[in-house]
Amino acid sequence: MTPLILLGIPIGLAFGFALQRGRFCMNSAFRDVIVLKEYTLLKAVGLAILIQMVAFAALDMAGVITISPNTFFWGANMLGGFVFGIGMVVAGGCASGITYRFGEGMVGAMSAVLGLILVGLMTTMGAFHPLVIAIRGATTVTLANGANLTLANIFGIPHYILAFGIAGVALIIWAIRSKSSKGSTKEAEGISVGTKIFKKGWGWQATAIVIAIIGILAFISSTAAGRSYGLAICGGYWTTIQSLLMGQNLIGWLSVMLLCTILGSFIGAKIAGEAKLRAPAPKVLIQTFFGGCLMGFGAALGGGCNITHILTGVPQLALSSILNGAFIIFGCWTLAYFWFVRPMRNL
């Protein structure tokens, strides 16, 4: 075990703090587009992806990191993503959402984490593992040379050209749109910078930029510790529990980072006066636990949660992550439609 895994400490603390201050939850981001016609968090997710897309490509060119797309197993990506998307609506938060709310003291999020760990481990190494092997085995596709698929290498385009191209086009569209719809920034005046950072929830631009910077630093520091990938969450829970409960020596950069993420969120919530143990009704606790179970199964089958795939994989143009991410959104929207949109419409 290299001491460089301790580089996960500052990354985790900063990540947890930023998640809590920015309320960065992809379940809210995706679900509320159809439930509340609310786009703020979605914009934060989009911008964080674009910034990382450019940075990862540049750092790969400079030899600092290596673009490391996850394996494309379309059946597992689709089913895993869909189940994860449903699970996060049931749990009331995505992997980052339940993790930062764990730090805030929300017991519903803690029970979701419990479900995610339990069924996640059953799927990565227990009763459901043969199913994973079968689905992945039947649907894995790689390039002829064994390389994992990206949007760039399947078309034979240099990675950096496509990454810079997508980010450039998105930037131009963004600039045109923001010009035509005059900004409705209602930033409160007369508030100190300290209050804005530590006491108030952050705006979406600040959240996106900070999360992206942490994501970039995470990839660099994780690479230094021998793990060629950026931010992730579920694997951190599973390896920590495997190490603590089963005596397997799996504590690495990701476990350290994840534990510090919870701590960072607690610190952020504490400073803002938002940390408090609070629990929903018992039946909601069971609901969030069940949601966590679905998330655990989906993440373990599909090769990662929304952070692994959408925040870190999509910027690497990984085909597995693009497909998995699309099915996370599909699962989220499917249940959100039946649970929230339709009942509200029928009032």
Q: Which residues bind another protein (CB under 8 A)?
A: 23, 25, 27-28, 31-32, 35-38, 91-93, 97, 104, 106, 108-109, 201, 269, 272-276, 278-281, 284, 287-288, 340, 344, 347
Nearer to another protein, 179 or 345 (CB): 345
Nearer to another protein, 29 or 117 (CB): 29
Nearer to another protein, 98 or 167 (CB): 98
Question: Nearest approach, Cβ of 179 to another protein (angstroms)?
Answer: 23
Nearer to another protein, 109 or 318 (CB): 109
Nearer to another protein, 46 or 280 (CB): 280
Question: Nearest approach, Cβ of 121 to another protein (angstroms)?
Answer: 24
Question: Nearest approach, Cβ of 327 to another protein (angstroms)?
Answer: 21
Question: Nearest approach, Cβ of 306 to another protein (angstroms)?
Answer: 15
For the chain, the straight-line distance linking the first and the last C-alpha, in angstroms and rounded, comes to 58
Question: Nearest approach, Cβ of 331 to another protein (angstroms)?
Answer: 16
Question: Nearest approach, Cβ of 166 to another protein (angstroms)?
Answer: 29
Q: HEC profile for the chain?
A: CCHHHHHHHHHHHHHHHHHHHHCCCHHHHHHHHHHCCCCHHHHHHHHHHHHHHHHHHHHHHCCCCCCCCCCEEHHHHHHHHHHHHHHHHHHCCCHHHHHHHHHHCEHHHHHHHHHHHHHHHHHHHCCCHHHHHHHHHHHEECCCCCCCCECCCCCCCCHHHHHHHHHHHHHHHHHHHHHHCCCCCCCCCCCCHHHHHHCCCCCHHHHHHHHHHHHHHHHHHHHHCCCCCCCCCHHHHHHHHHHHHHCCCCCCHHHHHHHHHHHHHHHHHHHHCCCCCECCCHHHHHHHHHHHHHHHHHHHHHCCCHHHHHHHHHHHCEHHHHHHHHHHHHHHHHHHHHHHHHHHHCC
Question: For residue 15, what are the contacts with CB-CB under 8 A and spacing of at least 6?
Answer: 211, 214, 218, 231, 257, 260, 261, 264
Nearer to another protein, 245 or 344 (CB): 344
Nearer to another protein, 148 or 288 (CB): 288
Question: Nearest approach, Cβ of 342 to another protein (angstroms)?
Answer: 12
Measured distance CA(121)–CA(250) in Å, rounded: 13
Nearer to another protein, 88 or 214 (CB): 88
**Residues present in the chain in total:** 347
Question: Nearest approach, Cβ of 273 to another protein (angstroms)?
Answer: 6
Question: Nearest approach, Cβ of 332 to another protein (angstroms)?
Answer: 12
Nearer to another protein, 138 or 344 (CB): 344
